[in-house]
Structure 1
């Protein structure tokens, strides 16, 4: 088993050569116009999210692949036109989307490596800055990297202020569908995006639930960042990808439910996600050296299904951010000493507060009350948390579930991807974790982690039976 200290020399020396760069605009002319960001978009800082797809089969000619990707992208941008635009600061000092069909930066590249030689466990060496493009202009960048023996990696990077993972997945599925060479004009298209910002308009008058103030903080309330000193970055954030077997997930869930309360004859069973988050929160606490500090756990909640039935139906195709990040705060001592079942109850409690329509309506109103000033989820605020006289100087981590995003639908015409993952080394102080269904479709999870090095050491030392480094052997090379 690979350890944290062992670098993958092959991937560190992996050279990716760019062979062509161009800009792909929407196929049909679009009338230039402005599209405001919603109040929920305005909660996102200027950070980029990456996602990549690995394919082992493709047409022999590189030009055929590039042509299919480029043509279908140009067609997809007719419907997903915000991805072809630019973010501009308006007179109020807020970001606003200029839909001018500036286009998407499209990069072609080659790498002298087989797909099965990519180190999926250590994307810092094999993926970062190599197979997922850096977005320099616009709001979306795409890179197609051709590997030896027919391998291909399609990587995308998008501005989080424009889209959440749900919206990006809508686009990717739509783009892939248009690329299908056997697609008939009569074939039904996937859902087209909705840009109806009024779905997320504030109420008049605004009505803010007190719980929102505990989850979000205006930028104006944040203290200046702490000065860094030599040696203060001794515990950097690094990236790994693991897999967890279905048996281990079932075991964690059973432990999390060991003291489940029976209400009206029904046992309140914690979900696999809540159970996993509780397990991870305990690991985060165990990695802290000072047992007196606070450890924080946040979970990304998609609000599309939290609204009334009629609005939820419209939001099912809404393009933009409809997310909230509730979080919990407990001392390291509590988390390490209490049972997994107790911690799971704490996760359920803070998560439940953000799963109602009132929560999202209040969050929209909270943003409105602070405009044009920006706000941020407290879990991201690092050492202070925005609370007067209170220090949150312990570890923090955010979990975002990717369970609904099935890679099989991102088939551009040469077969489903053999693997896909988000890539989000976002640069903040809080760690980021995304569990996704395994491509083996056997109930296992693949877990992307961008967290502190000390936490990874703790995980690989004490939970190696749960978090196993992702390898092509695990994926059985079943398409290679």
Structure 2
């Protein structure tokens, strides 16, 4: 076990990088699916070993990052804008080319000294920047060992993780003067509501207008649970074992979700009778027959179906029984019909904002959302080789938990979790599945890939 250390990060410079090409200022409405997202910022970070040595100096490396970022923003122009309100009070994108805030920093630690299992200590407020203005901000942090951490934080109302992954891959390709492997599309018509379409009442079970929900409890009197951030890994063989135990026809994500659901039920309080679990479903492969424009669509194409089970029932259920429940409500949402209905449902309620019900605590028990990290840019090579490690970072406050498993090329999964402490304890009581991500694990992976 390599010991971690407390360390400090010093900001050495702040600049703003605008798109390299001039842009006619204009406003771009958000899609109906974008409008389902509250103002949340999501972080992602990538750790590179010996990046500075490969680039000669840190200054050379940063100059290359900035120059290529400016060129990439010419293609991904929404990231150079800012979110404003329209006359109806809805958020929309002002494409002004205000640019991306770029932070340069230096850490007094080596990569091998950082304990990524506890990102509250190693990442939060240090390696991932806080976005103050605009849609996207970036931070490049030099480590003592010559390593570099490249991180960004983006406004979830403008882009989902899929869109941001496309951007990071394109940015890395631009640094290397390689052709872009994916070109984004901004065709909002792909998510237009249907004329005079009947609104499907099934969406009412998953989403609700904010105006129909009771006000949140007074923070001065409510005893809200304190959530923490953790990163685990699941060995490839354990992922395979979980899927086999979940039964025929179940995906790895469904098996993982079933396992997590049972573990959260174990940590439920005595007065919590039900436990809710949701899964983020990406609609790109379902809409428009999965055509190329839809697969390259920039924005949010997400739905969050969920299920509710009695805590006592979960205690007595086998993994395959729970996985059958997960498969049922995930499959129902993984269709073109569901996403078309969702687009129409939002249209029928505008401009009143709506939200996924699982976030609202209506059921009165533990709730958690699982989102697949498939497509994480683990191959993003800025000229220094692929990252040694990376993860999302999404500390969105207390309430419903958020867990994102990230498949790696090795078959292992890195799992980012934002959960109340009691649920973290339940996960760590199952060490054969959720293993704390140690620096030893990262270093061993680096050595095995050399």
TM-score by length of 2: 0.95
| Structure 1: distance between partners of 2:70 and 2:287 | 33
Task: Work out whether residues 165 and 377 of structure 2, in 8 Å CA contact, stay in contact via their aligned partners in 1.
Answer: no
CA-to-partner distance for each residue in 1:334-358, whole Å, 9 max, x for gaps?
Answer: 1111111111010011111101101
| Structure 2: distance between partners of 1:292 and 1:100 | 48
Q: CA deviation at 1:207?
A: 2.2
Task: Work out whether residues 88 and 97 of structure 1, in 8 Å CA contact, stay in contact via their aligned partners in 2.
Answer: yes
Structure 2 residue 241 is the aligned partner of structure 1 residue 251: yes
Structure 2 residue 123 is the aligned partner of structure 1 residue 143: no
Q: 1:119 to 1:202 in 2, by over 3 A?
A: same
| Structure 2: distance between partners of 1:345 and 1:279 | 12
Aligned counterpart, 2:251: 271
Which of these residues, 156, 161, 165, is aligned with residue 165 of structure 1?
A: 161
Q: CA deviation at 1:474?
A: 1.4
Aligned counterpart, 1:330: 309
Q: What does 1:151-230 align with in structure 2 at a 5 Å threshold?
A: 151-180=147-176, 183=177, 187-229=178-220
CA-to-partner distance for each residue in 1:244-269, whole Å, 9 max, x for gaps?
Answer: 11221222222221xxxxxxxxxx42
Task: Work out whether residues 298 and 379 of structure 1, in 8 Å CA contact, stay in contact via their aligned partners in 2.
Answer: yes
Q: Which runs of 5+ in 1 are unaligned?
A: 3-7, 258-267, 385-391
SS of residue matched to 2:358: helix
Structure 2 residue 387 is the aligned partner of structure 1 residue 407: no
Task: Work out whether residues 19 and 71 of structure 2, in 8 Å CA contact, stay in contact via their aligned partners in 1.
Answer: yes
Q: CA deviation at 1:189?
A: 2.1
Aligned counterpart, 2:436: 469
Q: CA deviation at 1:456?
A: 1.0
Q: CA deviation at 1:208?
A: 2.1
SS of residue matched to 2:67: helix
Aligned counterpart, 1:38: 31
Aligned counterpart, 1:315: 294
Q: CA deviation at 1:428?
A: 4.5
Which of these residues, 377, 380, 387, is aligned with residue 359 of structure 2?
A: 380
SS of residue matched to 1:328: strand
Q: CA deviation at 1:312?
A: 3.1
Q: CA deviation at 1:308?
A: 3.4
Runs of 4+ in 1 over 3 A off after TM superposition: 228-231
Aligned counterpart, 2:417: 449
| Structure 1: distance between partners of 2:207 and 2:398 | 16
| Structure 2: distance between partners of 1:428 and 1:164 | 21
SS of residue matched to 1:353: helix
TM-score by length of 1: 0.90
Task: Work out whether residues 292 and 333 of structure 1, in 8 Å CA contact, stay in contact via their aligned partners in 2.
Answer: no
Q: 1:421 to 1:23 in 2, by over 3 A?
A: same
| Structure 2: distance between partners of 1:231 and 1:223 | 15
Q: Which runs of 5+ in 2 are unaligned?
A: none
Task: Work out whether residues 60 and 150 of structure 1, in 8 Å CA contact, stay in contact via their aligned partners in 2.
Answer: no
Aligned counterpart, 1:117: 113
| Structure 2: distance between partners of 1:131 and 1:209 | 44
| Structure 2: distance between partners of 1:211 and 1:248 | 36
Q: CA deviation at 1:39?
A: 0.2
**Aligned residues between the structures:** 444
SS of residue matched to 2:5: helix
Structure 2 residue 73 is the aligned partner of structure 1 residue 77: yes
Q: CA RMSD in A?
A: 1.7
